[in-house]
Amino acid sequence: MIDVKEATQKAIEHLKSIYQDQDLGKILVEEAERTDDNKFWIVSLSFKKMNPTGIVGESIFADNRSLKTFRLEAESGEVKSMKNR
């Protein structure tokens, strides 16, 4: 079974693989928890928000971070889902 450090690292690696050509800035771990049944890790990461063209937005009036939540199998660390939060 993977621990919280491994779960967050696997979520970060998955995020980077999806947005490999984008500047994500500093990726922050916002939340990490194991489900009550110990089957999954739920990890939330934040990073620089991008507009639809893939260019990072710089508005001072809006939050400039995106938040994604990953669900990983606790045994293998396999990412099962990624959702907007």
Number of folded domains in the chain? 1
Per-residue pLDDT tens digits for 5-61 = 999 999 999 999 999 988 899 999 999 999 999 999 999 999 987 655 555 544 444
59 is in which domain, residue-wise?
A: 4-84
What pTM, to 2 d.p., does this model score? Answer: 0.82
Q: What's residue 53's pLDDT?
A: 52
pLDDT at 63: 65
The full 3-state SS of 38-85, as one line of letters, equals: CCEEEEEEEEECECCCCCECCCCCCCCEEEEEEEEECCCCCEEEEEEC
List the CATH number of the domain containing 67.
Answer: 3.10.450
**Residue with structure tokens 């606790």?**
74
Pairing of strands 40-48, 65-73: antiparallel
The pLDDT confidence band at residue 85, using thresholds 50, 70 and 90, is confident
Is the predicted pLDDT of residue 70 greater than 60, yes or no? Answer: yes
